Chains A and B, each alone.
Chain A
Amino acid sequence: MARKWIWVVAILMAGGMGTFPSNAGERMFTYVYESDTLPEGGLEFEQWVTYRNAKAQGNHTRWDMRDEIEYGITSDLQTSLYVNYTQIFQEGVEDFDENGSIDSADTNNEWQFKGVSSEWIHNILSPYDDPIGVAVYLEGTVSDSEGELEEKLLLSKNIGENWVLAFNAAVEQEWNLKHHGNDMEGKFEMDAGVAYKIIPQFSIGAEAKNQRVYPENLAFEEHSVWFVGPNLHYGNGQWWITATLLPQIAGHPDQGNGLNYDDNERIEARLIAGINF
């Protein structure tokens, strides 16, 4: 019951604080969003690549790609359109069902179109001029098999010329569009990042994320996983690139070495490159 209240409060916060949020421009982090938005009229293309590797056994690699166009509607509202696709190679990987027992050990190697996403970010407080930067975020995704809604609260702060801190709290609702009954799967995710600008163009930092999944209309917590790793960023006046390496450091329920492999791998790496127009 308490879990459902967390969801209700989080959705109300996202909806009440601003309406339709979306994604920032230049990214110092690849998992955590900062709270500032593109300037009015700003236009940017971003290419996302996320690599995931290694289950408890067998061979498993997964590449998630997102092509994104981002536009600043006003100085505090931006929108993005994504095209999403995935390549998975899997051999001898045993999936676990919800009871923790071995489900299957399929081999496959396939590309999947993962639908299109519309994302909105509304900046409320500036990370430069206010005590803390605040923005709200809404993303909707539709593919031939699934529908998703994601709401986030984005907090960040630029301290002096060198330090950037960011924290996001996100809830996500996912529906399987191919099955009748349409049970909703919920996710709750927290992301945090810290970066230090060595020179104005280059920074080093670290990111962390914790994701919890609640299937069957939030009936139970299926798993909770923690990732922590380093991050690098380079940006000049025209383009930028950011990369993060995130090994899984803990997962529950434990499916080997203290990690969980339900929808997760031992290691994730994400690279995002953006070009300004």
Chain B
Amino acid sequence: MKNCALLLLVLGLAPGARAGQYLSQDEALALAFEKPGAVRRFDLPNRKPMAEEKLKAFTGELKGGGGRGIAFIDAVIGKHEPITYMVVVSADGEILRVEILEYRETYGGQVCEEPWRKQFLGKKPGDSIHHGTDINNIAGATLSCRHVTEGVAKLLKIFEEKKAELLR
């Protein structure tokens, strides 16, 4: 009984968003596409800091009659561990959705919360996407905020370079 009370105390004191898998890849694609089973997958060369891992891009008909679009699934390093995230863009590169699929660290998980992720919506290639100016920081989650922001900006650049190939 004492142990349970201590556990409850510990969980109650700990920060809101916690480490864990929030969405599987299939669940994430189901949020993005009308027919997630019918999407095309591309494995693209990645860039730092995840240069060793392939960047995944999926193309298909977006949900809600948004036409064809792309969902990128990538990872960035938070402080020590990778954060797996998805960015969904329309055919003209507008960001429609940012989701965190898996967060692996004890602290900094506030990037998983919707109000922070919504700051990216509507951004397009060429828009300024910088942590601290265009995208607000969250105290206590600085590195996660910075690195996810850098990751989203990187994906828009990759979109510009690869859109013809991906949306062909």
Contacts and interface: CB of A to CB of B under 8 A. Distances in A.
* Genuine A/B complex: yes
Contacts of A201: 80
Given A128-B146, A237-B104, A238-B106, A277 B10 contact: yes
Contacts, number: 65
Interface centre among B49, B104, B107 (most CB of A within 10 A): B107
B19 interface: yes
Given A237-B106, A238-B106, A277-B10, A42 B140 contact: yes
B107 A236 contact: no
B108 interface: yes
Interface stretch (A56-64, A68-76, A256-264): A68-76
22 contacts: A38-B140, A39-B107, A39-B139, A39-B141, A40-B15, A40-B139, A40-B140, A41-B13, A41-B15, A42-B14, A42-B15, A43-B14, A128-B142, A128-B143, A129-B142, A200-B49, A201-B80, A235-B80, A236-B105, A237-B19, A277-B14, A277-B106
Interface in A121-154: 126, 128-129
B13 A76 contact: no
A238 B141 CA distance: 15
A235 B105 CA distance: 11
Contact of B140 (A39, A161, A276): A39
A25 interface: yes
Interface in A62-118: 71-72, 75-76
B16 interface: yes
A163 B19 CA distance: 26
Contacts of A276: 106-107
Interface string B78-121: 11110000000000000000000000111110000000000000
Main secondary structure of the interface of B (DSSP, over half): loop
A122 B15 CA distance: 19
Interface of A: 25, 38-43, 71-72, 75-76, 126, 128-129, 161, 200-201, 235-238, 276-277
A43 B13 contact: yes
Contacts of B142: 126, 128-129
B137 A129 contact: yes
A75 B140 contact: yes
Given A236-B80, A237-B79, 5 more contacts: A40-B140, A42-B107, A75-B139, A200-B79, A237-B104
Interface string B1-26: 00000000010011110010000000
B163 to A, nearest CB: 29
Contacts of A75: 139-140
Contacts of B77: 200
A161 B77 CA distance: 10
Contact of B80 (A126, A129, A237, A277): A237
Interface centre among B15, B16, B81 (most CB of A within 10 A): B15
Given A41-B15, A200-B77, A200-B80, A76 B139 contact: yes
B106 A41 contact: no
Given A39-B15, A277-B14, A237 B139 contact: no
Interface in B15-57: 15-16, 19, 49
Interface in B127-146: 132, 137, 139-143, 146
Nearest to B143: A128
A201 B106 CA distance: 14
Contacts of B105: 236-238
Given A128-B142, A128-B143, A39 B108 contact: yes
Contacts of B140: 38-40, 42, 72, 75
A42 B120 CA distance: 27
Contacts of B16: 41
Given A41-B13, A41-B15, A128-B143, A25 B107 contact: yes
Contacts of A43: 10, 13-14
Contacts of A235: 79-80
A34 to B, nearest CB: 13
